[in-house]
Chain A
């Protein structure tokens, strides 16, 4: 299960998550609610970010290869490369919302432990679904580039196939947004 690009990076993400959880569980009292909430916000960015970095990276390599063969296909492979990039932005978005919710730009933070955990878990849906969906979306994008290479005029189909995976990142994002805005009581 944890083999290949998707598996190994998922594993990295899970290690990060478990590490943070363990840290929070054992040292929560010491760290306090603020730190837990910030860990959650950071995790959303980092998990989504890993997915998008790896995804856009591998997709970019192949896109460059195809552009080298047929420079006029650049415009077709570019959106395919960009598609796995949205998850990183979703993670960033969730983190920013969490910071706004915590009033991080307004003054002194003072969250209780419980509030900290609430923010932490509210950030997870976007982060985790972003990580895994970006990796798989990148794989679909790579395959979509084969469509571009062989039948450039059909490249729109590759985009749609790739977007199917993103649905779940969008749902994760939506859940995190709703959780932070309405479920987290600060």
Chain B
């Protein structure tokens, strides 16, 4: 019998070995995945009982921080607070007890709570120090510019993105509508749930950042890409001239394409660019053909999610070759930013940046660095090239064309103070079909100074009101961009902003009307 008993022992040993392997799978291999599950609030409970580091702006302004809870009935020891209210809601995201966390609060949760392995190791060598090992996230953002963007949007739906062309650092990125994370971070679960329900039901989708999580038809601002592609392939040059036409009928249809407002439009390449004629760009798109045109858009990263260091970034879209081979008219109108084109506002700022940066498109980022609890650098973001869609020669040709827009064309509203030369392209994306009431988005993208660019900007105003829809990118978005540029050149260093909200007295949540 002893032989069988030994075998039985081996059998049970194997059973326990299986248990041990499964434990390793759950506690080590799948640990990250399980801990990241939104339904798993254990990490949160642990985190809420210790300090969590702040998220700060480039100038040190606090965007998010943890403060000790005053209410003795509260289950947690710390309350997350966002001193600037809704100004950075779409970038910091929220950090809640019951509803998980979003944006930087989520992607940099480990650094903020001090649980990365490097922070843990550093803490071990510092056993006698204080227990707080939470890290800090330093962003590239300037609250004063962000506040200006908010003021300039003045309650109109849309977004403003400001970035540094040479690095990809985002200086301001404001979307309206935004939301106040303080209302969601409220420890009163029921109240926070009502706020979330209300925010989710709002038509403007404040929880989604227009600037990088949504995409809109670009209109004429897309002509930059058509022109770039046509220049790269030699389909056009500064010498090319286009006849003055009112109509152009692309292949495979009898339906002619018209210019904006039905006017006759033509001239040199520079003229058709600054006057923003539609027909020449439709013709260039047809001449390029589906393959080269689609390849051209892909060179700019269209079709890929934008590689910003924030979660949930959207991808711009143009279409695939197969979408156009039998639908050349769609390709033609795609050439001037209509039809199936949709662009992420941040991507449009990256377009301007690429031209400003001699053809290199940098990866956009908002996190400049993360810091250890003692203030030394944990990790610093190194600027990286994402795409190189055009060569420096094409970039300088496009710059010339865009200077023309500001000096002579649709973007004259972008003539900056103190003689600073800007380069820009406007866009007015027509959303309504023929015969329907006018609906259009107003766009502008640009950079300045044209000869040595420091900043690139994209502004979009969504066609949600009659006022916006009746106007153009040049008239509406241009002045917003101009004021941003003028401010940036007048204030190269950040100006402190007043903290508008204190979590100690959170504004009453808009409950009541919240129920759909």
Q: Does B bind A?
A: no
Residues in B lying within 8 Å of A, measured CB to CB: none
